Amino acid sequence: MAAGGMASADMSDISDWSAAQALVSGICAQHGRLDILVNNAGISRSGLLGDLGEADWDRQFGVNVKGATALIDAAARQWRTQAPTPRAIVNISSPAGPHPIPPIGLYSATKAAMAALTMSAAQELAPLGVRVNALSPIARTRLIEKAPQAVQEMMAAREGYDPFAPDHAARLLLCLCLPDARFTGRLLGCRGDEVYLYRPWSADYRLDNGGAPWTISALEQALGSLPQQDMCWMMTADGLVEQPWPPTTLG
């Protein structure tokens, strides 16, 4: 605001579809137009399968996914009435999206959904001049307050270079919002000064039966030729780590 800008706050519950629509309409009415949308609202509730309640699902998906979708939909309604103009949407995902971890499986699923929504929205809104990307940061936020004590201590503020300061993610977010940013439909990650670009899911392996239906026994044998795991690079609080994925140990 020191540069002469204007800000306004809104306490709408974005998990309410009509409230999210009204929020965007109000912004356009008050400020004249909408150029950038950042879907940063999110909540997390820990819980393992077998211990979850319907409310856990409804609330996390309501805020993390439905809320973001409602705001993107509302923005698209505005932009479809206007000439194509460079605009940007950034959806906040998480390293837990592409690589889910217990006991935050539901949260992981919402963040994977954000990545998929990003890829779809990027295709839909490209004709309007809108770039849509997702950002997967490892940073110190209020969600860390409910993390295990060891995680809180590891990500605590420190003197000098602080890899978990949220300012690092904010700078990358701003770059993605610049009018001449060249990415769309991408998931980028960051930890401190480290920036990562995720590759999209890829069907790397193929089987076929020569145009004939498989028998169960033949298909079972053929599936045995596929790897149970692949080596992948994962964003962690310690940096980039290569390890096999997914886990295969049972029992």
Q: Which residues are catalytic?
A: 107
- For residue 170, the SS3 value is helix
d(CA 201, CA 183): 17
In angstroms, the CA 82 to CA 35 distance is 12
Q: How many CB atoms lie within 10 A of CB 87?
A: 22
Angle subtended at Cα 2 by Cα 68 and Cα 12, rounded to the nearest 5 degrees: 25
With both helix axes pointing from N to C terminus, report the angle between 68-79 and 17-31 in degrees, rounded to the nearest 10: 40
Residue whose C-alpha is closest to residue 207's, from 219, 189, 193, 191: 219
Report how far residue 19's alpha carbon sits from residue 11's, in angstroms, rounded to the nearest whole number: 10
The closest alpha carbon to 135, from 148, 118, 150, belongs to 118
Distance CA 166, CA 236 (A): 15
CA atoms 89, 41, 25, 118: torsion sign: positive
Q: Which amino acid is at 36?
A: I
Radius of gyration from C-alpha coordinates of the chain: 21
